[in-house]
Amino acid sequence: MEQFFEFAGNHVVLVSALLLSFFLVVFTELRRKAMGVSNIEPQEAVRLINGDAVVLDLRSAEAFSRGHIVNAKNLPYDEIGSDQEKLERFKGKPIVAVCDAGITSAKLVATLRKAGMENVYSLRGGVNAWTQQSLPLVTAKKIRGKD
């Protein structure tokens, strides 16, 4: 312990920079948590999806049919609005909200977290970031009815 104090006394600038960096990281994480929005990267989303998370695609039905994440549920943001009852059935599982660029999903996540849902995440960058990471999208297939 004596050597620590001697080192700190001899290298005040270095120790000050270390402490400042530590407090900056802690402050940033606390502020992010207080904002109520938790953005996750595509790799983290894959981990959650593999762990049985529900993917809610907030885009229009047309955009959803052009390509979506495997097993995603299409629930356009305009249809949710202030009616969050549609999301109650997913309350027990982690939810990953997805939109085109991550802006709309971040709004929904902030609203849901204020309403008491904790395991709700927004895909940072949305489907655009997903495709930039070369992750797969599923396109809707038209099913022909039997006559």
**Residue 15 and residue 54 in one domain:** no
User: How many Å apart are CA 104 and CA 99, to the nearest integer?
Assistant: 6
**Residue 73 and residue 112 in one domain:** yes
Tell me the residue length of the chain.
147
Percentages helix, strand, coil for the chain (3-state, rounded to 5) are 50, 10, 35
Q: Considering only 11-25, 43-57, 109-123, which range has the smallest mean pLDDT?
A: 109-123
- Which residues carry out catalysis? 99
**Residue 17 and residue 46 in one domain:** no
- This prediction has a pTM of 0.68
15: left (phi over 0), alpha (psi -120 to 50) or beta: alpha
User: How many Å apart are CA 64 and CA 17, to the nearest integer?
Assistant: 48
- Of all residues in the chain, the percent with pLDDT exceeding 70 is 88
Q: Which domain holds residue 116?
A: 36-132
**Residue 124 and residue 62 in one domain:** yes
Domain count, the chain: 2
122 half-sphere exposure, CB direction, 13 A CA radius:
23
Specify if 77 maps to a domain.
yes
- Determine how β-strand 95-98 pairs with β-strand 120-123: parallel
User: Mind listing the pLDDT tens digit for each residue in 50-79?
Assistant: 998 999 999 998 999 889 998 898 888 888
